């Protein structure tokens, strides 16, 4: 397959016939389909796409593809997760005909517990393993509805949409591309994939289905583009086994292995190798425990039960007989691996005889967390293996440029829209498409919030723009941390906070004594007495500008904040968050 692709002559010959013999079903002139990305276009995570069918301008049916989470960047202080903004759907819930999931990674299913209750009882469908992982999340949050597991030869009827599943290889089994048949034409939804000729589960991509839909004619293909900068083809998962086995041979103590908790094929491989070297396996982490248990139940993982031990039994087992599958590949502060690295785990303690294997690359935005985790592990003297120093320790689940061009050649869509990458990945994909003869206008890259509409005998066009906000999850709060709160947190983190307490007489409205100024993270109070004393004078002058009884204390607070802010910026070059407090006595 690779050799055939690499021959330019054969490739160019194929390009000449890429649209030959294909008919694009365009329905009537009144039929249109809009694609509305609520996440995943121009960013790597929080994938969620709407396919909206309209007749004569009126919305008839909406199909949702995926519902994932994103991860906070370094400036989102205190934020746990980010989810798609679904306010566009709130007055259209009666038009939603179904949600279809492509695979079981959190950036495609993780938003379900937060978003589904707001959508109503919408039917949900996914390949078997993805359905199982999604249902675990629904069960944990006491949502009674369940995702229906679908075979790869089945179809979903959702209003006018008919959805078929195409098995593709990725870093989690049961990953699917979707063939979405509509009155306007066929859309091919090609989220995360690579062409692995020797996948760990022995279930390769369904190339025949891809070729068949290409011959039928695809109006538009949405394609994963995250690996568009990498040349060639992404290697097979099989190469990781040799590296893990090498680390097992070198380790004289316990081995800690971490990867994405949904990457059960790689966990299965690691367990088999550990078993071969006479080690017992313990699972540390709720997500890994649950995913492994569900995968075993469904037959996606197999191993003798006697090789598994409880974490409490590790104390009586020699270290060189232990193999720990640990959650925390992204350096999450609440994970087991983070606690172990920071000597905060109740049972597991690192020594200089131990080996820690990180078989996962950092998700964009988590690089610093992972690097800090590695540094902390090294401080214990343990050996650390990770992809920056060992090339074959992690293999991406995303195709490289060769995989993408192969899919594009096979499907041969009239239009293509890269998804699942940052803006630079979108631009690089456009270059790759140009090498296959696609003009710039045929590679659709809408800006954030732009809505693309496909109609009969007309090129796709931007017909609307919707505002999409960052919906942040902070503890139990959903969306209550907005841009204003986040800005305040950023200011406190970078500049500190100054609280001004002004005691006033409840009856007269006059200030009773000098204002008290309290600082945290701004200046060291004992060494800045003159600064704070003069700051008190600034506050008093701001108050004396008003004569008589003060009724509008909100305006006074604003005046205090403005005057004190200007003074502190002039004297220190800093702009702390200023919180005036009026204390009525």
pLDDT in tens, 443-492: 999 988 899 999 988 999 999 999 988 776 654 445 444 455 555 556 65
Rg over CA atoms, the chain: 28
What whole-number distance in Å separates Cα of residue 492 and Cα of residue 67? 33
pLDDT at residue 215, as a whole number: 96
- Residue 166 has a CB neighbour count (10 Å cut-off) of 23
Residue 353, both tokens: 């005889």
| Numbered ranges of CATH 3.60.15.10 in the chain | 2-233+396-474
Task: Please give the CATH topology (third level) of the domain spanning 2-233+396-474.
Answer: Metallo-beta-lactamase; Chain A (3.60.15)
Phi, psi of 81 (to 5 degrees): -145, 165
pLDDT tens-digit profile of 483-499?
Answer: 555 555 566 566 777 78
pLDDT at 2: 40
User: Per mean pLDDT, which range of 48-52, 198-202, 503-507 is the poorest?
Assistant: 503-507
Architecture, CATH, for domain 237-391:
3-Layer(aba) Sandwich (3.40)
Query: What would the mean pLDDT of 503-522 be, rounded to a whole number?
Result: 71
The pTM of this model reads: 0.80
Q: pLDDT band at 278, cuts 50/70/90?
A: very high
Residue 528 has pLDDT above 80, yes or no: no
The two beta strands, 255-258 and 175-181, are unpaired
Distances from the Cα of 232 to the Cα of 264, 396, 422, angstroms: 26, 13, 20
Q: Which long-range contacts (CB under 8 A, 24 or more apart) does 202-207 make?
A: 203/167, 203/169, 203/173, 204/169, 205/166, 205/167, 205/168, 205/169, 206/152, 206/166, 206/167, 206/168, 207/1, 207/410
Segment (H or E) for 48: strand 48-55
Q: Enumerate the CATH 3.40.50.10710 domain ranges in the chain, comma separated.
A: 237-391
With tokens 């990305």, the residue in question is 37
SS3 274: helix
162 burial level (CB within 10 Å; 0-12, 13-18, 19+): middle
Question: Is a pLDDT exceeding 50 seen at residue 220?
Answer: yes
CATH number, span 496-584: 3.10.20.580
Residue 9 has pLDDT above 60, yes or no: no
- For residue 119, give the nearest of 72, 63, 165 by alpha carbon: 63
CATH 3.10.20.580 domain locations along the chain: 496-584
| Between 64 and 14, the higher pLDDT residue | 64
* Residue with the two structure tokens 């006479």: 278
């Amino acid at each position: 397959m690779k050799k055939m692709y690499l021959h330019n002559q054969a490739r160019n010959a194929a390009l000449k016939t890429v649209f030959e013999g294909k008919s694009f079903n365009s329905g009537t002139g009144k039929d249109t389909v809009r694609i509305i990305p609520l996440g995943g276009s121009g960013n790597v995570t929080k994938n969620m796409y709407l396919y909206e069918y309209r007749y004569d301008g009126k919305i008839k049916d909406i199909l949702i593809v995926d519902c994932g989470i994103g991860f906070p960047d370094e400036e989102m202080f205190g934020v746990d997760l980010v989810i798609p903004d679904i306010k566009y759907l709130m007055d259209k819930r009666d038009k939603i005909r179904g949600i279809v999931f492509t695979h079981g990674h959190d950036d495609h299913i993780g938003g379900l517990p937060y978003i589904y209750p707001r959508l109503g009882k919408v039917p949900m469908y996914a390949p078997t393993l993805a359905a199982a992982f999604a249902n675990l999340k629904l069960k944990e949050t006491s949502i009674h509805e369940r995702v229906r597991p679908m075979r790869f030869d089945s179809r979903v009827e959702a209003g006018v949409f008919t959805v078929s599943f195409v098995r593709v290889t990725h870093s989690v089994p049961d990953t699917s591309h979707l063939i979405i048949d509509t009155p306007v034409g066929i859309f091919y939804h090609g989220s995360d994939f690579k062409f692995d000729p020797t996948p760990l589960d022995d279930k390769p991509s369904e190339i025949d289905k891809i070729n068949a839909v290409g011959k039928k004619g695809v109006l538009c293909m949405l394609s994963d583009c995250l690996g568009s900068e990498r040349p060639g083809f992404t290697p097979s998962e099989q190469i990781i086994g040799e590296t893990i086995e090498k680390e097992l041979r070198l380790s004289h103590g316990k081995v800690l292995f971490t990867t994405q908790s949904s990457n059960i094929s790689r966990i299965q491989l690691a367990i088999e190798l550990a078993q071969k070297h006479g080690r017992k396996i313990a699972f540390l982490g709720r997500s890994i425990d649950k995913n492994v248990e569900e995968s075993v139940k469904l037959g996606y993982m197999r191993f003798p039960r006697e090789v598994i031990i409880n974490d409490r039994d590790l104390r009586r087992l020699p270290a060189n007989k232990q193999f720990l599958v640990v959650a925390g590949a992204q350096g999450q502060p609440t994970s087991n691996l983070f606690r172990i690295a920071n000597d905060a785990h109740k049972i597991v303690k690192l020594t200089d005889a131990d080996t820690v294997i990180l078989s996962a690359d950092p998700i964009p935005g988590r690089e610093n967390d992972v690097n800090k985790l590695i540094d902390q592990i090294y401080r214990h003297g343990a050996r650390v293996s990770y992809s920056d120093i060992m090339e074959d320790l992690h293999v991406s689940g995303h195709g490289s440029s060769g995989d993408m061009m192969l899919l594009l050649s096979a499907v041969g869509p009239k239009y293509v829209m890269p998804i699942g990458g940052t803006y630079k990945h979108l631009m690089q994909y456009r270059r790759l498409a140009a090498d296959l003869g696609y003009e710039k206008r045929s590679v659709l890259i809408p800006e954030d919030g732009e809505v693309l509409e496909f109609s009969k005998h007309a090129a796709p066009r931007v017909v609307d723009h919707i505002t999409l906000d960052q919906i942040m999850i902070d503890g139990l709060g959903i969306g209550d941390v907005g841009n204003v709160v986040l800005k305040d947190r950023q200011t406190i983190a970078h500049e500190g906070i100054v609280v001004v307490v002004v005691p006033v007489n409840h009856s007269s409205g006059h200030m009773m004594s000098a204002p008290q100024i309290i600082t945290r993270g701004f200046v060291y109070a004992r060494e800045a007495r003159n600064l704070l004393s003069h700051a008190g004078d600034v506050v008093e002058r701001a108050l004396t500008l008003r004569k008589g009884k003060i009724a509008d204390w909100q305006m006074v607070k604003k005046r205090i904040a403005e005057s004190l802010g200007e003074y502190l910026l002039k004297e220190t070059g800093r702009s702390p968050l200023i919180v005036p407090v009026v204390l009525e006595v």
